[in-house]
Amino acid sequence: MRRMARHIIAALLIAPLGAPAQQAGAPHAAHDIVVKQLMTKALSDIPGKEVLAITVDYPPGGADPIHRHDAHAFVYVLEGSIVMGVKGGKEVTLKAGQTFYEGPDDIHTVGRNASKTKPAKFLVMLVKNKGTDFFLPVK
């Protein structure tokens, strides 16, 4: 059952070809946050690992639920401004051109658009175990 729930959540959150992502608890309608998978590439010199590249579009006021990635996540802000934070760390506000890192054991407690009036977009490169879900909800 848990595995099935993870696959359902992943299917809702990774929206191929720019289709809307479903996100429970987001301040805006679920269809407003868009997660687009750009590529997945196995790392032949690191057996069992792959890189997943995604973009995330936050509408004004958009936010993520609390989650973790079980991956090394490298965030690069493309447009607008976002607020990021992990459990035990400080919240940081990032503008276009700035970066953020999350480790495999981090719990992503804050992920939101810093603006209530302008959209934001960022790129995430994840180094993760091959074939595993990258988004794991935390209760």
| Tens-place pLDDT, residues 50-81 | 999 999 999 999 999 999 999 999 999 999 99
pLDDT band for position 15 (50/70/90)?
very low
Across the chain, mean pLDDT equals: 83
Instruction: Give domain limits for the chain.
Output: 2-137
Q: What is the pLDDT of residue 71?
A: 96
Q: What is the pLDDT of residue 139?
A: 82
In sign, the C-alpha dihedral spanning 64, 102, 42, 138 is negative
CA distances from residue 116 to 69, 75, 91 in whole angstroms, order as listed:
26, 21, 17
**Residue 11, pLDDT above cutoff 80:** no
| Pairing state between β 92-95 and 108-113 | unpaired
Q: How far apart are CA 17 and CA 91, in angstroms?
A: 31
Closest CA to 79 of 95, 55, 93, 64: 95
Class of domain 2-137: mainly beta
* C-alpha angle 110-6-113 in degrees, rounded to nearest 5: 25
**Residue 1, pLDDT above cutoff 60:** no
User: With helix as H, strand as E and coil as C, how does 60-128 read?
Assistant: CCCECCCEECCEEEEEEEEECEEEEEECCCCCEEEECCCEEEECCCCCEEEEEECCCCCCEEEEEEEEE
